[in-house]
């Protein structure tokens, strides 16, 4: 997919584009700098990353990031309150959560209408899209960003019929948990809890569809319960290693081995909270701590040592996942800087084959399992 003299084609396994567009009201057809300048000029302070975003469609093109797994996030909460430290609300009913997710889907459809994005739901569509990007017969500013539709948190699946509705809409990846309690499974910061009865039913039904389970955000208990029930393809879209950065948000060696044994993928995340031990949100400065892009390669190295190869790692940057430059490696300005990993990986001894795997080949192989 690339050579030493070309800019590699990149797949990012986790971005929250619709949340940025519809919750943070960002016009992602503008450049990152234009979005930052507008938020600073308006004096916005409702989210910590105002004026410090890193992701927009022009920067995806600049970085040759032509394919992304991108989410709809819509949470249910009986009281409708955000969980501590999270700005995302919980809707008072699953039906409201579903309607909010449909709002996000409508944004993706609008981007398709504008020619900014294109949904990928078949193997033929994926192959055609990659050829468009790799053959360089179309100017980069005219190339649509391909997207695989994902759910981060399954609360908006009102019942099992809605799972099939979502699949018909092109949904090919589901993470059934997010932060805190969920209708289907407990998520980050709910350690000790696992799947709900509804969650077990959902995973059994997912076995009937071409869809992958994203294990990210599951608690340890929920992780192993899910693997016992779900028999299809598994990934961890934005996940780092607990042995390097302690904490329940990262996965243990045993969990990493389980994903490798199922021929799954682990997308390395660029949230400094997941890259540096004991990073204090809202207090620590990535530059003062010298948190660099290269820190992610420590996690890549670790997973490769467990696997014995480079076939289970890639990018799942989670950039602008309700954080910005204040929680991003200091040698990164925008998502286009994923290209910097080319030189970093060469310096760390990764071969051309390894680099191709990380930049795109592993994700493409994995995604083809759920595209028909």
Q: What is the CATH number of the domain that holds 108?
A: 3.20.20.140
Has residue 83 got a pLDDT over 80? no
Q: Is 3 a member of any domain?
A: no
| Residue 82 confidence (pLDDT) | 55
Has residue 32 got a pLDDT over 70? yes
| Residue 266 confidence (pLDDT) | 98
Residues 218-276 pLDDT 10s: 999 999 999 999 999 999 999 999 999 999 999 999 999 999 999 999 999 999 999 99
Q: Is 5 a member of any domain?
A: no
In the DSSP assignment, the letter for residue 24 is S
What is the distance between the alpha carbons of residues 249 and 153, in angstroms, rounded to a whole number? 15
The mean predicted confidence, pLDDT, of the chain is: 95
Domain assignment of residue 181, given as a range: 10-367
Q: Is 2 a member of any domain?
A: no
- Residue 177 CA to chain centroid, in angstroms? 13
In the DSSP assignment, the letter for residue 19 is I
Has residue 3 got a pLDDT over 70? no
Question: Tokens 């760390």 sit at which residue?
Answer: 348
Q: What is the pTM of this model?
A: 0.96
Least confident of 4-13, 127-136, 279-288, 317-326: 4-13
Has residue 85 got a pLDDT over 50? no
Q: Is 4 a member of any domain?
A: no
Q: Is 300 a member of any domain?
A: yes
CB 264 within 8 A of CB 232: no
Per the structure block, which two tokens stand in for 191? Answer: 């350690």
Q: Is 278 a member of any domain?
A: yes
Q: How many domains does the chain have?
A: 1
CB 229 within 8 A of CB 194: no
Q: Is 259 a member of any domain?
A: yes
Helix (H, G, I), strand (E, B) or coil at 152: strand
Q: Is 372 a member of any domain?
A: no
């Amino acid at each position: 997919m690339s050579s030493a003299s070309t800019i590699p084609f990149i797949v990012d396994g986790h971005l929250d584009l619709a949340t940025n567009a519809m919750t943070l009201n960002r016009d992602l057809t503008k450049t990152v700098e234009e979005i930052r300048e507008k938020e600073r000029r308006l004096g916005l302070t409702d989210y910590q990353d105002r004026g410090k975003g890193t992701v927009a469609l022009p920067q995806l093109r600049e970085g040759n990031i032509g394919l992304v797994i991108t989410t709809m996030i819509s949470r249910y909460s009986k009281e409708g309150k955000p969980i501590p430290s999270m700005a995302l609300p919980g809707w008072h009913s699953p039906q409201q959560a579903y309607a909010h997710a449909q709002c996000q889907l409508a944004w993706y459809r609008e981007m398709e209408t504008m020619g900014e994005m294109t949904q990928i739901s078949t193997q033929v569509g994926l192959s055609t899209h990659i050829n468009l990007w790799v053959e360089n017969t179309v100017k980069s500013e005219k190339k649509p960003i391909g997207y695989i539709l994902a759910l981060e948190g399954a609360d908006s699946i009102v019942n099992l019929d809605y799972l099939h509705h979502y699949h018909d809409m092109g949904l090919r990846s589901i993470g059934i948990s997010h932060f805190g309690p969920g209708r289907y499974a407990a998520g980050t910061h709910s350690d000790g809890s696992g799947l709900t009865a509804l969650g077990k039913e959902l995973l059994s039904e997912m076995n009937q569809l071409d869809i992958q389970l994203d294990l990210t955000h599951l608690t340890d208990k929920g992780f192993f319960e899910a693997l016992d029930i779900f028999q299809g393809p598994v990934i961890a879209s934005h996940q780092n290693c607990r042995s390097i950065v302690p904490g329940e948000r990262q996965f243990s060696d045993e969990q990493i081995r389980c994903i490798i044994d199922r021929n799954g993928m682990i997308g390395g995340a660029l949230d400094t909270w997941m890259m540096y031990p004991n990073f204090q949100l809202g207090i620590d400065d990535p530059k003062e701590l010298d948190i660099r892009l290269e820190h992610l390669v420590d996690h890549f190295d670790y997973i490769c040592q467990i696997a014995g190869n480079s076939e289970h790692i890639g990018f799942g940057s989670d950039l602008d996942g309700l954080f910005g430059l204040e929680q991003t490696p200091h040698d990164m300005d925008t998502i286009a800087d994923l290209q910097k990993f080319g030189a970093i990986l060469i310096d760390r001894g990764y071969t051309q084959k390894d680099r191709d795997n990380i930049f795109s080949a592993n994700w493409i192989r994995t995604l083809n399992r759920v595209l028909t």
